[in-house]
Amino acid sequence: MNKNPLPKTESLLGKLRWGIWLLGISSWLFGITDRSFASFADGYLSAIDITQLFTASFFFVSWLFLKPMPLE
């Protein structure tokens, strides 16, 4: 009988959290890059473009602060 299933579950959850965090980083970087190309494609920046870029950058930095703690 397995009397200690909890560490295996914690390890799996830790890896899942880390994977979701890495997926979020790649998603935010893609979004910021996409918005940047769309903003600069027409040759000038409007107030809406700047607002969208700053908002996406703010959420990306916020996502970086949500880095999961490693389980030991």
| Residue 39 · residue 53 · CB < 8 Å | yes
Identify the pLDDT of residue 29: 96
What residues contact 67, with CB distance under 8 A and at least 6 apart? 21
| Predicted TM-score of the model (pTM) | 0.77
Tens of each residue's pLDDT in the chain, 72 residues? 556 555 777 788 888 999 999 999 999 999 999 999 999 998 888 999 999 999 999 999 999 999 988 765
User: Domain boundaries in the chain?
Assistant: 22-37+45-72
Q: For CA atoms 6, 7, 12, 17, give the dihedral sign.
A: positive
Measure the CA–CA gap between 4 and 54, rounded to whole angstroms.
47
Identify the pLDDT of residue 42: 87
Comparing CA positions, the residue from 63, 51, 72 lying closest to residue 26 is 63
